[in-house]
Amino acid sequence: MITKLLIPQDTPPLGLPDLAIMRETARLVLGPDSGPDTLPPAAEELDTLTATLRGHLQLLTPEVEQAAGRLPENSPTRSGAMYCVGEARGKLRAPELSFARLSGSVMYARRLARVLVALCEHYEIVSAGMTETPEQTAFVRLAEHCLTCPTCKAMDDKGANLGLPCEEEERLNEEYRQARIRASAARIARQVRPVEATA
């Protein structure tokens, strides 16, 4: 059984990065659960995948940087995207580990794959012009409440928080938890599964 990459019928218009193909390439290196125990691809396939990952990063990095540059400087999504751009450039400059040919190549390819997945996520956010994700917005509301609410800030004579129940804090915490669940579900839904075909 051979695993093939098929170009989706709904490919993006020319000039836009094909995030589905990029994610699928990363998935081939990371495995289905991105765990360290995932068996690496064969040496020849690994070389091809590493070169492909590098190419994807070289294409996507300036796109993310340009899209993030259009956001306000104090935007959390801009800051996160620019940090990821720096990580991607660092991975592209970093030489493969030379102490163990296969092990070093696998580690390097997995690092490239991880930063590519993160860059794809940031590209979707910043290219949509989002200055703050719903998850970030919910967290900020929760944090601002906890910093200003007399009940949440109540302390004993030793300076320890009393942990008094606060309905508003519980409601905002639940909003934040739900926003995190939705964001996680959206990330999982965007993952591309391999198409298997027999040779």
139-155 pLDDT per residue, tens: 889 999 989 999 998 89
What pLDDT does 198 receive?
Answer: 38
Better pLDDT: 64 or 33:
64
pLDDT band at 15 (very low <50, low <70, confident <90, very high): low
Mean pLDDT along residues 84-93 = 91
Residue boundaries of the structural domains of the chain: 11-131, 133-199
Q: pLDDT at position 163, please?
A: 87
Q: Is the pLDDT of residue 61 over 60?
A: yes
- Residues paired with residue 195 on neighbouring β-strands, in sequence order: 4
Higher-scoring residue by pLDDT: 104, 13:
104
pLDDT at residue 52 in the model? 93
- DSSP class of residue 161 equals B
pLDDT given for residue 195 in this prediction? 42
Residue burial 165-188, b: 16+ Cβ < 10 Å; e: rest: ebeebeebbebbeebeeebeeeee
At 197, the pLDDT band (50, 70, 90 cuts) reads: very low
Interatomic CA distance for residues 146 and 179, integer angstroms:
18
Provide the pLDDT for residue 89: 93
Which position has the higher pLDDT, 62 or 46?
62
| Mean pLDDT of the 23-28 span | 90
- Tell me which residue of 195, 193, 196 sits closest to 23, measured CA to CA: 193
The confidence band for 7, taking pLDDT boundaries of 50, 70 and 90, is very low
Give pTM, 2 decimals: 0.69
Mean pLDDT of the chain, nearest integer: 81
Residue 4 class from Cβ within 10 Å (0-12 exposed, 13-18 middle, 19+ buried)? exposed
Q: Average pLDDT of 156-166?
A: 89
- Length of the chain equals 199
What angle (nearest 5°) sits at the alpha carbon of residue 128, between those of residues 70 and 90?
65
Max mean pLDDT among 3-12, 29-38, 40-49, 55-64 falls in: 55-64
Q: Are 25 and 56 in contact (CB under 8 A)?
A: yes
